[in-house]
Structure 1
Amino acid sequence: MNDDRKNFQATEMITNKGGDFVEFPFRGTGICWVGAKDLIYGMANVYLDGILQTDSIDLFYSMPISTSWGEEKLHQQILFSAENLEDQEHLLRIIATGKKNPRAGNAYISVDAFAFPESLAHGQYA
């Protein structure tokens, strides 16, 4: 766990081991995965109700040259969102691939929080 105060409630779960995953069951019509992007972050696959949602999501972030050291990480980014789902039980699964962008320093993925699209305007996460 990363105790960075810029993360939601100062917590962020990370892994760089391919196959590690997190599951988030929810009921509703939408969901957002909130996490960070960084120089050492890699790729993840996202499944919703057992169906792969997109190509691997790349969490690598290349900071602008003018960025100060220690500020190269982008916190609380919406890494994936799904809306207009049927109002029923769903399961979101995020899997670390262990792969990375050739420019990334490692293959970590970040899970900071989950949010429902209608709650984002109020800064509410789960």
Structure 2
Amino acid sequence: MRCSSKKNEALTFDVNKDSVLLRLYFYKGPNQGKARIIVDGALAKTIDLYRATPQYRFAWKYGIPDQRRKHTVKVLILREKRNVSTGYQVCFDGYGEESTFTDDTNYNIRYEAWGGAWNGKALGGGYRVSSTAGSLVRFTIRGRSFRWITARGPNYGQADIYVDDKFFATVDLYSSTQKWQHALEIKNLSQGSHTVKIVVLGQRNSASGGNAIVFDGISVP
């Protein structure tokens, strides 16, 4: 773990072009300050690493919108802090890249009555969306778990998940704030290959303004 409190000191590294999710690991604690994360020269996030009690290996996640080229990541020390912090330090503990995601455009994913749309915050920049009851997406995974990459927000509805043609769960994707690349984990499956089906219900809870369901990809450990 490397720590610094020197203003404008920076750590820079390159990310492989086939990576789709980047995790930066930091220490959070009572003497930690703020840092700016810059990707390809553009601000991605200003993070506040203060925490009243220590937390090691805090992971900040960033979905890479374009996997066709390398990306340069910079962590810049701001020498800023919130009032309760006792210091300005930023402690960086490494990074990890994931390339196990399958984007919504993969040919192994089958759709019925879904439309395509674009948003820079979605995985790979694009996603599939449907509000029509009975619309479904079908795919096959191997293993005991997977994550459905979707979105939550004020206009999203509900969907049913089936595994091997058996009902598994109903999910409600309403949230008062928009959240891209939201990962829903499906776990405790039997070992082996599984066929997964996600079905749009065309329903929503009373707080939601719509029935939309987003399919942005899957991740298998």
TM class by smaller structure: 0.7 to 0.9
Choose between structure 1 and 2: higher helix proportion. 1
Identity level (%): 25
Q: Report what 1:90 is aligned to.
A: 194
Write the distance in 2 (CA, Å) between the matches of 1:103 and 1:84: 31
**Unaligned stretches of 5+ in structure 2?**
1-115
Asked which structure has the greater CA Rg, the reply is 2
For the aligned residue pairs, the C-alpha RMSD in angstroms reads 1.2
2:193 maps to 1:78:
no
Deviations, residues 15-59 of structure 1 (Å, cap 9, x unaligned): 0000000001122222111100011110000011111112x2111
Structure 1 residue runs of 4 or more that deviate by more than 4 Å after TM superposition: none
Structure 2 counterpart SS, 1:2: strand
**Unaligned stretches of 5+ in structure 1?**
64-72, 119-126
**Larger relative contact order (C-alpha < 8 A, sep ≥ 6)?**
1
TM-score by length of 1: 0.78
AA paired with 1:27? R
1:93-104 → structure 2 map (5 Å cutoff): 93-104=197-208
Q: Report what 1:60 is aligned to.
A: 174
Deviations, residues 82-125 of structure 1 (Å, cap 9, x unaligned): 23433321011100000011111110001001001x3xxxxxxx
AA paired with 1:77? H
Write the distance in 1 (CA, Å) between the matches of 2:162 and 2:122: 24
Q: Report what 1:21 is aligned to.
A: 136
Q: Report what 1:122 is aligned to.
A: none
Q: Report what 2:147 is aligned to.
A: 32
Write the distance in 1 (CA, Å) between the matches of 2:145 and 2:151: 20
Write the distance in 2 (CA, Å) between the matches of 1:105 and 1:86: 37
Q: 1:12, CA displacement in angstroms? A: 1.1
Write the distance in 2 (CA, Å) between the matches of 1:51 and 1:78: 21
Choose between structure 1 and 2: higher strand proportion. 2
Structure 2 counterpart SS, 1:53: strand
Q: Report what 2:23 is aligned to.
A: none
TM-score by length of 2: 0.46
Q: Report what 2:101 is aligned to.
A: none
Structure 1 counterpart SS, 2:194: strand
Structure 1 counterpart SS, 2:118: coil
